[in-house]
A and B are shown apart, each in its own frame.
Chain A
């Protein structure tokens, strides 16, 4: 198991290298630079700015310079928000996104697993169709529609929750719900499928023959085997939560890294873009590794090999 993990970690390096390179050249090859859109800036000032950031040097040189900096753990200064370096911005913004992501994941797993298990209890009945139809709604209604709708109902009409912000605990409910909804839907479908498959296996019959109640059969015997597809889904789900955060953070004015990235992209803040992309990619790779290890751990048969 440890060897497996180590091999995977070693894979990170080439992958990240490719990502850095691709992103680096992608943004620099595009027409326009970070300071082109500065309105009240004279040609001289702009030239000076470009010099400061070495944008006048040949591309290859800039690339090498960036990589060297990376090797020392330096992500560079933010070109459009120079009050802090890229690393500092990330340090500031990421915990917020992390918090949002965790809540959304809790929503997804909490609602999704319950819905899926309930649906699998009596297939093709109302207890099945209702949760699964709701799940379909979660998949088909985009977050940027759901979010505003929730705001409309719960903030503007009912006045229970605030419209935006991220300070009080109540602020965090709607963003977490909005971000987690689609994933709750997927988890519900996956866990229902997983449960149905497990429930058709022989050992379930053994459990019933021992006198176990349906509830116990579902939770104590079937659930453990049925979460495998859900765990497998966590990898892509994390990636999705990350991208989803862009929209949700924008709608609800959450000061997270996702919103920061979108702004950096629009502002053509090269260093900021590179820094966040690298950061996200590393996060995702790590998370997927954890998920893979977790999957192996869940199935005792795999553990002892």
Chain B
């Protein structure tokens, strides 16, 4: 056995070097790192901070009314005297929760559908993918709007509906991965070299599918959050007294001229989080598949 063959054998054994390479590439990408750090800060903040805040998000101070940022209220108050800082943190919780939950829904549906299509192959696969192609073109938003208008404004329905919109891309990706993994040659080669099935599964199959799934999940969360904000803007999303960034933006828009801070701060919070998620997602995609990167 020549040197080259020995090296390849070692690489098949290692398998997980994929992750290490990807990690190295990721941390070299400054924008992605910045995004990741910001995201971590945001998540930590919305989980922890509300417990520390002196004001409750529903606590009103009608005498005060809307006021610009001050020492007592760092980001100001809205027309009912509610502290904006508190509302932004609570709203963040809801927005992020909807984002993650809806993405989870789309993940479950998409991965299942894609895996089945890819594994089945042949006619079934062709039919299933044609369906995806057709659905991809339609504006699901319309159906979500109808759903939300007609079936009430429950938050569970909200993330089910939004999640149902996003599963298509995930299905396509997973199916593509499964199809290419069905090129079982390397699996047979690995088996011939004495690797157990379990090892192949853990070190080769799962990382191959997991990678793109993680990337697109990361990129789906901001799209979902945007959609929630969009629906809340139309009055169909999160309902008061619960708050979300989308709802806060809507309220801000309504009084934009007189109380600009009510628009600016929630918008900044939403945009910053979306930026971080997008940069992180882009970075993950470049790290995991350098061929698909920008240069």
Direct contact between A and B judged by beta carbons closer than 8 A: yes
Residues of A within 8 A of B (CB): 11, 15, 19, 22-23, 26-27, 30-32, 123-124, 136-137, 139-142, 144-145, 148-149, 151-152, 156, 192-193, 196, 235-236, 239-240, 242-243, 246-247, 250-251, 261-262, 265-266, 268, 273, 277, 280-281, 284-285, 288
Return A192 CB to nearest CB of chain B, in Å. Answer: 7
Give the residue name and chain of the A residue nearest to B222 (CB): A140
Partner-contacting stretch, out of B19-27, B113-121, B225-233: B225-233
Q: Which of B117-163 contact A (CB under 8 A)?
A: 134, 136-139, 141-143, 145-147, 149-151
Residues on B with beta carbons closer than 8 Å to the beta carbon of A27 = 146, 150
Q: Are A148 and B234 touching (Cβ within 8 A)?
A: no
Give the residue name and chain of the A residue nearest to B169 (CB): A236
Q: Are A148 and B253 touching (Cβ within 8 A)?
A: yes
Residues on B with beta carbons closer than 8 Å to the beta carbon of A196 = 294-295
Range of interface residues on B (Cβ < 8 Å): 35 or more
Return A254 CB to nearest CB of chain B, in Å. Answer: 15
Q: Are B150 and A145 touching (Cβ within 8 A)?
A: no
Return A221 CB to nearest CB of chain B, in Å. Answer: 19
Known: A142-B226, A243-B141. 4 other contacts (CB 8 A): A149-B267, A239-B138, A262-B234, A285-B138
A-B contacts, CB under 8 A, total: 109
Return B265 CB to nearest CB of chain A, in Å. Answer: 12
B278 part of interface (Cβ distance < 8 Å): yes
Q: Mark B213-239, 1 if CB is under 8 A from A, else 0.
A: 000000000100010011001100000
Complex formed: what's the CA distance from A246 to B294 in Å?
A: 33
Residues of B contacting A: mostly: helix
Q: Are B137 and A26 touching (Cβ within 8 A)?
A: no
Residues on A with beta carbons closer than 8 Å to the beta carbon of B267 = 141, 145, 149
Return B169 CB to nearest CB of chain A, in Å. Answer: 10
Q: List 12 A-B contacts (CB under 8 A).
A: A27-B146, A30-B150, A136-B275, A137-B271, A141-B267, A145-B270, A148-B263, A193-B294, A235-B137, A246-B141, A247-B234, A265-B150
Q: Of A15, A192, A243, which is within 8 A of B139 by CB?
A: A243
B274 part of interface (Cβ distance < 8 Å): yes
Return B31 CB to nearest CB of chain A, in Å. Answer: 9
Complex formed: what's the CA distance from A262 to B86 in Å?
A: 32
Residues on A with beta carbons closer than 8 Å to the beta carbon of B210 = none
Q: Are B226 and A285 touching (Cβ within 8 A)?
A: no
Give the residue name and chain of the B residue nearest to A32 (CB): B150
Q: Which of B236-278 contact A (CB under 8 A)?
A: 249-250, 253, 256-257, 260, 263, 267, 270-271, 274-275, 278
B279 part of interface (Cβ distance < 8 Å): yes
Q: Are B294 and A265 touching (Cβ within 8 A)?
A: no
Q: Are B230 and A142 touching (Cβ within 8 A)?
A: yes
Return A231 CB to nearest CB of chain B, in Å. Answer: 14
Residues on A with beta carbons closer than 8 Å to the beta carbon of B147 = 26
Q: Are A284 and B138 touching (Cβ within 8 A)?
A: yes
